[in-house]
Each structure stands twice: as structure tokens, then as C-alpha cells.
């Protein structure tokens, strides 16, 4: 444990080594923070590190995860452009965060944001809404893990369709392994379930990550 802690670079070392400035997004985080660029699979923060910042995805995508005692990875959530993450009740992160693809992330000092919220009612309300949304996300994800594999994959596709564009075609930024670790399944089960949905005419695979929802009603019934 001590050797690992010594070998792991600090937040500031990771930033100076792996990112460069980008354009600022709209909203309170963009007004107060700076956009940094993270390479694919780069760590944004680690589990048990101080939760000094809040983060917003400008482009790309982010996964948060924990490593279980048996060595398996449990993905907690995916964050897409516009999403804010890094919200913690305590002073340390309960999970790690990584860029799924090359991503631009705006970072804001948590202490600065909270100090400003003390004087701005609208900002305080936004932070409260964000905290409640994160709690709801955790609760909904825990309910997903008691469903069948087909129900989990169907629900995931509907969730991503709603978050990405709401259209009939979904471009997934994450890999099959990411999906498996998020849904609590093996990659073989995820791939087999995708194949079953294709064969039944519910979806079509334009590429491995570009999915056409041909029968949204059938997906909704599976997810009910």
C-alpha cells in the first residue's frame, strides 16, 4: 500500500503532464474554472483522493468506477457532455474517474464554488439539484443490477438514447467491457444480448458502437 501511494502521481503532477487549456463552456462552472484536456484512459482523480474540485464534461466522456476486493471493476456512472461529476458528501472521492476518450473537462475549486453559493441563491439551488440527481442516479443503478441481462441492456440503450440525442441512432463512446462493468455482466453476456436484440429486429449495429434502435417500444417493454 505504501509503495503504491508513493508511486502514484499527485493530481497536480497528472494535470501538468497530461492536459492543456481549452475553451470555457457556459454556466457557473465555466465562469469560474478552466478547461483541461485529458487523453483517452487518463485518470482525472483517484479513489480516496481529496475531493477538491467539481468537474463538467465539455467534450468526450468520463467513467467513474471502484475496484472490488476480487479485482473486478465496477463502473458507477458514465458522464457525457454537459454532465457535472465529482460531487461527494465528504472530503474524499469514493470512486475513481477516467476519460473514456480524449475529453475536455472544466475544473472548479469546490471551496470557491461553495463560497459563491453562500451568496447566490440560484447557484445554491443548482448545487442542491445536482446532489439530488446524483443520489437518484446511484439508486436507479442499484435497481438495474437486480434485473435480467436482457432487461439491463435494453434499459442501458434507452438511457443512452435519451442522454445522447433522443434519436433512433445512438453513438456509444464506451466499449463493450465498459458496458459490462456498468451493468454487472460479463462482456460475453453483453455481446450475446446485443446479438439476440439484433436477431429479433429490435436494434441494428451500424458499427460496434453505432446502434440503431429499430423498435423502441420493444426495448421499453423489456425494460419495464
| Whole-number Å distance between alpha carbons of 66 and 94 | 8
pLDDT at residue 110, as a whole number: 86
pLDDT at residue 6, as a whole number: 37
How, if at all, do strands 210-213 and 203-205 pair? antiparallel
Model-level pTM? 0.84
- Dump pLDDT digits (tens) for 103-139: 999 998 888 878 877 888 887 777 777 778 877 877 7
Q: Is pLDDT at 223 greater than 90 in this prediction?
A: no
N-to-C CA span, the chain: 44
Phi-psi group of 91: left, alpha or beta (phi > 0 → left; psi -120 to 50 → alpha; rest → beta): alpha
**What DSSP character marks residue 86?**
-
Long-range pairs for 205-209 at CB < 8 Å and ≥24 separation?
A: 206/169, 208/176, 209/171, 209/172, 209/173, 209/174
Q: Is pLDDT at 147 greater than 80 in this prediction?
A: yes
Q: Taking a C-beta distance cutoff of 8 angstroms, is the pair 117, 127 a contact?
A: yes
Going along the chain from its start, the domains and CATH numbers come out as: 2-144 (2.60.120.10), 149-223 (1.10.10.10)
Lowest mean pLDDT among 130-144, 161-175, 182-196: 130-144
What percent of the chain shows pLDDT beyond 70?
85
Query: Bridge partners of 181?
Result: none
Q: What per-residue string of b and e applies to 147-170 under the rule 16 or more CB within 10 Å gives b?
A: bebbbbbbbbbbbbbeebeeeeeb
Q: Is pLDDT at 74 greater than 80 in this prediction?
A: yes
Nearest one of 52, 53, 54, 79 to 65, comparing CA atoms: 79
**Residue with more model confidence, 53 or 24:** 53
Q: How many residues does the chain have?
A: 224
pLDDT at residue 166, as a whole number: 62
Amino acid at each position: 500500500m505504501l509503495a503504491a501511494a508513493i508511486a502514484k502521481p499527485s493530481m497536480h503532477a497528472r494535470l501538468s503532464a497530461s492536459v492543456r487549456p481549452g475553451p470555457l463552456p457556459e454556466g457557473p462552472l465555466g465562469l469560474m474554472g478552466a478547461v483541461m484536456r485529458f487523453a483517452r484512459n487518463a485518470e482525472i482523480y483517484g479513489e480516496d483522493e481529496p475531493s477538491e474540485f467539481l468537474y463538467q464534461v465539455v467534450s468526450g466522456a468520463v467513467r467513474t468506477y471502484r475496484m472490488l476486493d476480487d479485482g473486478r471493476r465496477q463502473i458507477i456512472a458514465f458522464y457525457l457532455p454537459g454532465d457535472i461529476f465529482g460531487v461527494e458528501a465528504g472530503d474524499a472521492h469514493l470512486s475513481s474517474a477516467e476519460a473514456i476518450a480524449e475529453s475536455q473537462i472544466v475544473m472548479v475549486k469546490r471551496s470557491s464554488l461553495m463560497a459563491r453559493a453562500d451568496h447566490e441563491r440560484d447557484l445554491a439551488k443548482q448545487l442542491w439539484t445536482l446532489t439530488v440527481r446524483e443520489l437518484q442516479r446511484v439508486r436507479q443503478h442499484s435497481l438495474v443490477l437486480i434485473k435480467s441481462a436482457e432487461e439491463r441492456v435494453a434499459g442501458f440503450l434507452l438511457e443512452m438514447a435519451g442522454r445522447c440525442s433522443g434519436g433512433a441512432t445512438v453513438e456509444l463512446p464506451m466499449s463493450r467491457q465498459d458496458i459490462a462493468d456498468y451493468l454487472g455482466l460479463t462482456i460475453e453476456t453483453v455481446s450475446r444480448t446485443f446479438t439476440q436484440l439484433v436477431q429479433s429486429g429490435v436494434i441494428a449495429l451500424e458499427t460496434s458502437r453505432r446502434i440503431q434502435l429499430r423498435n423502441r417500444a420493444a426495448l421499453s417493454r423489456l425494460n419495464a
